[in-house]
Amino acid sequence: MVATAARKAGADRAASLRIGPLSKTFTLKTGPLRTETVQALGDIRLDVPGGSFVSIVGSSGCGKSTLLRIIAGLETSYDGSVTLDGRPIGGPGLDRGVIFQEHRLLPWLTVEQNIAFGLKTLPRAEVARRVREHLELVGLEGFAKAHPHQLSGGMAQRVAIARALVNQPRVLLLDEPFGALDALTRIQMQQEILRIWEAQRTTMILVTHDIDEAVFLGDEVVVMSSRPGTIRKRLPVGLPRPRDRSSPDFIALRKEIHREFFTASELPFAYEI
């Protein structure tokens, strides 16, 4: 009952994102007087409905992180349009939370201070309440006074998630958030982020090079190709959650995405986790 109420409130809050057509070029200095332009993104079109979970997979250097940085407002020079609930994105904003690959906690602040760091100015009691609430959300109640160097990689990333959520963003952008974690912690964190998404129903956009992760989490998997970064394929994942990574449907989907990256001759030995 409580859960559905929260979900409903969340669904009202979650924003839909409309990208495109969008392209981006970088100018590289290749010599004293020579410059070269490199197209990072070419004609990206993507609609993300409010409250959905979209995974974007691609090999490194395909521009998927650039795309996420544009949505975050960290890259402001691009051609085309990106709108959040109809409003164009012109810079960073609290309506979008970002989780980076590295936790980026401030080492001199405690866990609770790190979470409060992102919080806009509020009465002290309200700050304390929200920090406590989000510590509970990520399961770190006992670590409020700990410093980042006392935490494991997974715990630090949980704090980063709490910090990103504390302002109640309407979109959460995840930039290879579990890429630096070991395989077991990564699986734990994937379940964790799914639980948080189901509780909060924030729109989530995940960038990853881990196909398994993309299929496990996303309502839809967007496959990107490199140079320039374009959307090669969009695959809806129709599987019910929680998803069984060893079910035939899951494996079939994973293989289909895998085929987008590797030629047939590379495939036979494929990929067993």
Partner 1 sequence: MSAELASDARSAQRAGLRAGAKTGALRSRLGALAGVLPGVLGRAALYVALPVALLAAWQAAFALGYIRPILLPPPTRVGKAFVDLAASGDLFRHLGVSLLRVLEGFAIAALVGLPLGIGIGLSRTLDRLTDLIIQLTKPIPPIAWIPLAILWFGIGEAGKVYIIFLGAIFPILVNTIDGIRQTDHRHVELARVLEVTRRRFILQVVLPGALPNIMTGLRVGLMVAWICVVAAELIAASSGLGYLIMDARQMSQTDQVLVGMITIGAMGKLLDVVLRAAERRLITWKTTFSGS
In this chain, which of 88, 107, 142, 248 binds partner 1, going by CB under 8 A?
Answer: 107
Which 3 state secondary structure label does DSSP give 251? Answer: helix
∠ CA 223-226-228 to the nearest 5 degrees? 115
For partner 1, give the closer residue by CB, 94 or 267: 94
Q: Of 1-9, 94-102, 222-230, 258-266, which segment contacts partner 1 by CB under 8 A?
A: 94-102
Binding track, positions 31-70, relative to partner 1; x by CB under 8 A? ----------------------------------------
Strand 230-236 to 220-225 pairing: antiparallel
Q: What are phi and psi of 17, to 5 degrees?
A: -120, 135
The CB-of-172 to partner 1 minimum distance in angstroms stands at 12
For partner 1, give the closer residue by CB, 27 or 76: 76
**Residue count, binding to partner 1 (CB under 8 A):** 25
Q: Of 113-121, 213-221, 224-232, 240-248, which segment contacts partner 1 by CB under 8 A?
A: 113-121
Nearest to 184 by CA among 153, 223, 159, 148: 153
The CB-of-164 to partner 1 minimum distance in angstroms stands at 8
- SS3 sequence, 195-227? HHHHHHCCEEEEEECCHHHHHHHCCEEEEEECC
Q: What is the DSSP string of 152-180?
A: -HHHHHHHHHHHHHTT--SEEEEESTTTT
Q: Of 41-49, 90-98, 124-132, 264-272, which segment contacts partner 1 by CB under 8 A?
A: 90-98
Contact status: 71 vs partner 1 (CB under 8 A) = no
For partner 1, give the closer residue by CB, 64 or 103: 103
Q: Is 27 left (phi over 0), alpha (psi -120 to 50) or beta?
A: beta
∠ CA 196-99-72 to the nearest 5 degrees? 115
Residues contacting residue 64 through CB under 8 Å, at least 6 positions apart: 56, 57, 58, 207, 224, 229
In this chain, which of 16, 39, 83, 167 binds partner 1, going by CB under 8 A?
Answer: 167
**117-156 binders of partner 1 (CB under 8 A):** 117-118, 120-121, 147-149
Binding track, positions 249-268, relative to partner 1; x by CB under 8 A? --------------------
Sites of contact with partner 1 (CB under 8 A): 72-74, 92-94, 96-98, 100, 102, 104, 106-109, 117-118, 120-121, 147-149, 163, 167
